[in-house]
Amino acid sequence: AIGTLVIGVLLLLIAILIGNEVRSLLIGQSADPLHRQQMQTWLEQRPEIDKLFNLLTMQMGNDLMVAVKAQMVETGSQQGLVEAINGVEAEFRKQFAGVRWLFFEPDCRD
């Protein structure tokens, strides 16, 4: 009888642990702080970016979603702005291979 109770408790603990892991995968969670800090540092060092306002990350399974809000260096034209953003996005994806979705919002203020 005691063995049955021990097995039942063990199965209950395993179910709770698996449930928590599945919940975090379904709901999503922020990228680990070190990875996020590396992204922030990389973005702040880009010559195309004047000021980084926000960096949001969400881990969804093995994929990562990233949203960036930044003030870009003045290019003089809309086409120049688009090309600068596309260049940053392409280099960002090369640097951080786990990024599946990348949203980039240029802005003048936070």
pLDDT of 24 reads 67
Whole-structure pTM value: 0.73
- Amino acid found at 110: D
| 60 secondary structure, DSSP code | E
In DSSP terms, 40 is beta-bridged to none
Which residues, 6+ apart, have CB-to-CB distance to 85 below 8 Å? 48, 72, 104, 106
- The answer to whether 69 and 110 are in contact (CB under 8 A) is yes
pLDDT of 20 reads 79
Which of 4-8, 41-45, 49-53, 88-92 bottoms out in mean pLDDT, i.e. has the lowest? 4-8
Tell me the CA end-to-end span of the chain in Å, nearest whole number: 63
- pLDDT surpasses 90 at 60: no
Question: Any idea which fold 31-106 has?
Answer: Alpha-Beta Plaits (3.30.70)
Per-residue pLDDT tens digits for 19-57: 877 776 666 678 888 999 999 999 999 999 999 999 999
Domain ranges of the chain: 1-27, 31-106
